[in-house]
Structure 1
Amino acid sequence: MSPEDEVLDVVDEHDRVVGRAPRGEVYARGLIHRCAFVRVRDAEGRTFVHRRTPAKLVFPSLYDMFVGGVVGAGESYDAAALREAEEELGVRGLPRPEPVLRFLYDSGGVAGKWWSAVYEVRCTMPVKPQVEEVAWYGFLTDAELERRLSEWEWVPDGLAAYHRLLAPGRLDGGG
């Protein structure tokens, strides 16, 4: 099945399921759907950063400090976070990612809006990132990541999630 044919839950502004549709239709019609973002740190506390492949449907070839993706129809955020992290990192047996925050992201017409559930996990095993998803990767210290924010072009939803993680007294945008 192609990514465009993957069936997603369509949700409302309060993250309640109101229907289902193929991903291609969800993006084309700007329907609200769900995504899971996972911030991965290695044993030294460095953050996994990668450049997306040019074949990605949304934000191709941009850098991201999260792994993750859409939540499939009937799938929980927690299950999607673990599945996506293991797939993109090319590992098995990853600890269950811990939920940190959730917010509604508006892509400004790129692919609609999506509820973004943000997680964190520690990965101490060697990674072998999925070549279909990851064109380049590295583990960056917090200082290196901060320096790269102004140098590289980042996925805007990941950048929004990153800034929310750093916000003092961050609030869960869930409803």
Structure 2
Amino acid sequence: MSAADEVHDVVDRDDRVVGRAPRGEVYARGLIHRCVFVQATDARGRIFVHRRTASKLVFPSYYDMFVGGVLGAGEDYAGAALREAEEELGVRGLEQPVPLFKFLYEGPGGTWWSSVFEVRCELPVSPQVSEVDWHTWLTLGELERRVADGEWPWVPDGLAAYGRLREFREARQ
């Protein structure tokens, strides 16, 4: 089964399930669905950053500071966060990612409910080759500089989640 054929829950603006559709149809028709964003940090507090593969349906070859993805039909946010983090980082036995907040992303690529998580990964990573073309660990300062310098094309939904994550953390201080 191709990624375009995977079935996803379709939700309304209040995040209530209203149907199901294949991923290709979800994107083609602009249907609202659910995604998870997991910021992974290593033992030194560095953030996992990667470039998506050219084969991705949405934002191919763009950079991201989150691992994650679309929830499968019937899947909950917490389960998807753990599954996606383990898959993309190429690890097993990761701690359950901690949920932080949820928001409705509306921008390039479509509209989807986005649940943001964080997880510490002290395991050696071996990123999933079908998802991750290149990766590194950046300090917060290095990430901030990369975002600000505009040299790397960042996924728009990841940038939106990152901006909200910064605001969330500042509000908690």
TM-score by length of 1: 0.94
Question: Residue in 2 aligned with 1:106?
Answer: 106
Question: Residue in 1 aligned with 2:123?
Answer: 125
Question: Residue in 1 aligned with 2:135?
Answer: 137
Whose helix fraction is larger, Structure 1's or Structure 2's?
2
Question: Residue in 2 aligned with 1:158?
Answer: 158
Question: Residue in 1 aligned with 2:171?
Answer: 169
- 1:48 maps onto 2:48 in alignment: yes
Q: Structure 1: any 5+ residue segments left out of the alignment? A: 171-175
Deviation at 1:107, TM superposition (A): 2.7
Deviation at 1:43, TM superposition (A): 0.3
Deviation at 1:152, TM superposition (A): 1.3
- The separation in 2 between residues aligned to 1:146 and 1:74, in whole angstroms, is 36
- The separation in 1 between residues aligned to 2:141 and 2:107, in whole angstroms, is 27
Question: Residue in 2 aligned with 1:39?
Answer: 39
Q: Structure 2: any 5+ residue segments left out of the alignment? A: none
- The separation in 2 between residues aligned to 1:50 and 1:80, in whole angstroms, is 19
Q: Could you list the per-position Cα deviations for residues 71-113 of structure 1 after superposition, in whole angstroms to 9, with x for gaps in the alignment?
A: 00000000000000000000000000000111001134x3x21
Aligned length: 168
Specify the SS of the correspondent of 1:87: helix
- The separation in 2 between residues aligned to 1:61 and 1:23, in whole angstroms, is 19
Specify the SS of the correspondent of 1:169: helix
What RMSD, in angstroms, separates the aligned Cα atoms of the two structures?
0.9
Specify the SS of the correspondent of 1:157: helix
Question: Residue in 2 aligned with 1:88?
Answer: 88
Q: Could you list the per-position Cα deviations for residues 120-159 of structure 1 after superposition, in whole angstroms to 9, with x for gaps in the alignment?
A: 0000010000111111100000010011112311000000
TM-score by length of 2: 0.95
- The separation in 2 between residues aligned to 1:95 and 1:169, in whole angstroms, is 25
Question: Residue in 2 aligned with 1:173?
Answer: none
- The separation in 1 between residues aligned to 2:126 and 2:101, in whole angstroms, is 27
Specify the SS of the correspondent of 2:44: coil
Identity %: 71
